[in-house]
Homo-oligomer: A and B are copies of this chain.
Amino acid sequence: MKKLLIGILALTATTAVFGAEGMWMPQQIPSLAAELKKAGLKIDPQRFADLTGDPMGAVISLGGCSASFVSPEGLVVTNHHCGFGALQFNSTPQRDLITNGFLAKTKDEELPAGPGSRIFVTTNIEDVTARVSGNVPASLSNIDREKAIDRNIKTLVDECEKPGGVRCRVASFFEGSQYLRTTQMEIRDVRLVYAPALGIGDFGGETDNWMWPRHTGDWSYLRAYVGKDGKPADFSKDNVPYHPAHILKVSTESVNPGDFVLVAGYPGRTFRYRTAAEVGNMQSYSYPLTIKYATDLNNILRDLGKNNKAVEIANANRIKGNDNTLKNYTGTLTGFNNFHIVAQRQKREADLAAYIASHPDAAKYKDVMNQINALQQQSIANQQRDTVLGWIVRSSPMLAQASTLYRLSMEKAKTADIDRESGFQQRDWPRIAEGVNRAQKSLEPNSDRAGLRYFLNESQKLPAGQRIAPIDEAISKAGGVDQFLDQLYANTKIGDLSARKAMMDETSAQLAARNDAMLNLAAAITPLSLDIERQQKELGGAMSRIRPMYMDALRASSGGRLYPDANGTLRITFGKVEGYTPRDGVVYTPQTTLSGILAKNTASGEFDAPKAELDAIRANKTAGYVDSKLGAVPVDFLSTVDTTGGNSGSPTLNAKGELCGLLFDGTYESLGSDFVVDPSITRSIHVDAVYMLWVMDAVDGAHNLLREMNVPVHYGNASTPATGR
């Protein structure tokens, strides 16, 4: 396999710009060698730049989660919540794998992880900046510039995926300064191997989510299978385990306070380079309004489900999604205040201005902030209108379906696939079809109408200049919001799955001929949506000229190197095991122990550890797993590493490069860290590998896997149940 020692952009970093933070690109790691050594890393830092070498060759993506290979037979360890879909897929009322956990004692007992389960092994990363933006004439208008870049990206993805068996992506780094194309081997036969009982894997449930102290055993095991030719293949009995080029060695020693840790994974999205004006608008407008709207919508949906189980079930996922948004947004908003985010950005921009003023070399940047700020003003000019319009579609799963289907008909009408909008190209059609199917269980006309009603009423409160014309017209024509809704829900087949499936293949004209009220509403909104899209593209084109300059200026003024915002690509972050002070008079120590499980256990609900585990703890069945410094078996630990959503399941490596834990969460006080990192407060939460090994050995009897991972078995002769319960 070709070695990936990429050295693009002559970045010679010494320290991160804003404290002990950083989601570094693997190729940046060699230039951080001195810092890593100082922090405690014992292996050669150069190794982290080789994506197909040891250890990075073992770090993989599940699409939304991270994971790693831990045996030559393609055994994969990730979080319990990342493997949850596989448990759900294989559970029946008679065989409740979610609650009881699952252990395949042999490969024959392994279960298909379900449709859509994927393992992505990064095999190549190359700089395609020249082919994305390098060949775009500066003379193009902003919108044409944006379109040209978009077309270049589509072409690059298309040519990359043509051979098959791979998924390709062109991602923007440093705000459009650099474009990298990632090639990932896409393994389609993924099987469920082992997961502990829910009372271990999700111990603490929603109550403990984002919380410390934590006692969650958030791991599960999958296995990658390929065809006999070693290439990705659909599920087949004849498939064979994939043999990864590299695996991580699982450490049998726990980390301790102050110890070096490093996390490699696929963080999703951060906003570290948003400007003061941008975050200020989020803090004062977007976040509070989203919190209000999500709260109100959930209250509406909850009320409707109160005395109707079917309605409750139909809305459960939406409510849960809104609740997640609420906890996240509320915590982030608190973080905005606690971290003084606007002041922090204003200082950064003032420092930048001072630097530019005093460095003749930097004079070229002097208008950068003004230009960005002008564009930001432009982008929020219609935000009241755009926000309400967004929620109108979001609040009604039926309108959302109609909008997708109508847009699909428009895009399908285009002859060349490359002309189709991203998300509506041929490669996206299967995903759209899946979505049409999946939506069915959430379509509940009364709830749909109640949610939409709230936001239509909101639209009627918008000030002049921010009105949503097509909505105003529709309501006015019907004689009022309720009259409009009466007609809308009386004259639509969009709630019917077979009708929707048929619509997927219809032209815009055919859809119009149906005279379906919901499709008609979608069609009526579309010109405005397209106009907003066009404006966004225009802004995008303008920003793609100026933001790389902003990054250059920041890099120059900070005198060091920058890491790019997270964008779902492979990153490395390092730090140390460390607690924090969440509030005056309280210190969180960075490790928890088995005793905390006993203390939290309530034998029901979210704190329901399996009896086998409680028995093992009470009987001190812990020989071989007690950490000498801690005097106990460790469970979870805190570290200063810089992570976000998408990092779930990431291997945590110790100074020797061994897997000493799995990243699975951040603390509540860290919310806001997508925007700004406070080294004294921002912490990630990991499950300790020693706890995982102990449960596998002393509780779940997963001795076959321990042997496969080549770690000692202490309780292999004892008769232990196959799963914890």
Contacts and interface: CB of A to CB of B under 8 A. Distances in A.
Interface in A423-474: none
Nearest to A597: B584
Q: How many A residues are at the interface, by size bracket?
A: 10 to 19
Contacts of A639: none
A258 interface: no
B583 A213 contact: yes
A599 B587 contact: no
Contacts of A593: 584
Interface string A579-598: 00001111111011101100
A595 B680 CA distance: 16
Contacts of A599: 583-584
A214 interface: yes
Nearest to A592: B585
A215 interface: yes
A586 B585 contact: no
A633 B279 CA distance: 34
A213 B584 contact: yes
A212 interface: yes
Interface string A711-724: 00000000000000
Contact of A586 (B215, B588, B595): B588
Nearest to A594: B584
Interface string A190-223: 0000000000000000000000111100000000
A584 B598 CA distance: 10
Contacts of A588: 585-587
Nearest to A635: B584
A596 B584 CA distance: 5
Contact of A592 (B584, B587, B592): B584
A607 to B, nearest CB: 13
Nearest to A585: B213
A133 to B, nearest CB: 47
Interface string A341-385: 000000000000000000000000000000000000000000000
A213 B587 CA distance: 11
A425 to B, nearest CB: 48
Interface string A592-621: 110110010000000000000000000000
Contacts of A589: 585-587
A595 B213 CA distance: 23
A215 B586 CA distance: 13
Contacts of A583: 213, 596, 599
Contacts of A595: 584
A587 B212 CA distance: 12
Contacts of A212: 585
A33 B116 CA distance: 76
A216 to B, nearest CB: 12
Contacts of A585: 212-214, 588-589, 591-592, 596
Nearest to A591: B585
Which of A583, A584, A587, A591: most chain B CB closer than 10 A?
Answer: A584
Contacts of A215: 584
A283 B441 CA distance: 50
A328 to B, nearest CB: 21
Interface in A262-293: none
Nearest to A596: B584
Contacts of A584: 213, 215, 592-593, 595-596, 599
A151 B683 CA distance: 68
A686 to B, nearest CB: 13
Interface in A316-337: none
Contacts of A591: 585
Contacts of A586: 213, 586-589
A217 to B, nearest CB: 15
Interface in A560-587: 583-587
A585 B588 CA distance: 6
A587 B585 CA distance: 9
A320 to B, nearest CB: 27
Nearest to A637: B585
A318 to B, nearest CB: 31
Contacts of A214: 585
Interface in A29-70: none
Nearest to A212: B585
A214 B583 CA distance: 11
A596 to B, nearest CB: 3
Nearest to A638: B585
A595 B587 CA distance: 15
A584 B213 CA distance: 7
Interface in A212-246: 212-215
Contacts of A592: 584-585
A661 to B, nearest CB: 15
A69 B595 CA distance: 47
Nearest to A598: B584
A173 B584 CA distance: 41
A583 B585 CA distance: 14
A627 to B, nearest CB: 14
A340 B599 CA distance: 14
A589 B213 CA distance: 16
A584 B590 CA distance: 10
Contacts of A587: 586-589
A596 B599 CA distance: 28
A383 to B, nearest CB: 30
A254 to B, nearest CB: 14
A281 to B, nearest CB: 26
A591 B584 CA distance: 8
A620 to B, nearest CB: 16
Which of A214, A215, A586, A587: most chain B CB closer than 10 A?
Answer: A586
A287 to B, nearest CB: 20
A631 to B, nearest CB: 12
A592 B592 CA distance: 24
A713 B259 CA distance: 48
Given A584-B595, A584-B596, 9 more contacts: A214-B585, A583-B596, A584-B593, A585-B588, A585-B592, A586-B587, A586-B589, A587-B588, A587-B589
Closest 8 CB pairs of A and B: A213-B585, A584-B596, A585-B592, A587-B587, A584-B592, A584-B595, A585-B589, A213-B584
26 contacts: A212-B585, A213-B583, A213-B584, A213-B585, A213-B586, A214-B585, A215-B584, A583-B596, A583-B599, A584-B592, A584-B593, A584-B595, A584-B596, A584-B599, A585-B588, A585-B589, A585-B591, A585-B592, A585-B596, A586-B586, A586-B587, A586-B588, A586-B589, A587-B587, A587-B588, A587-B589
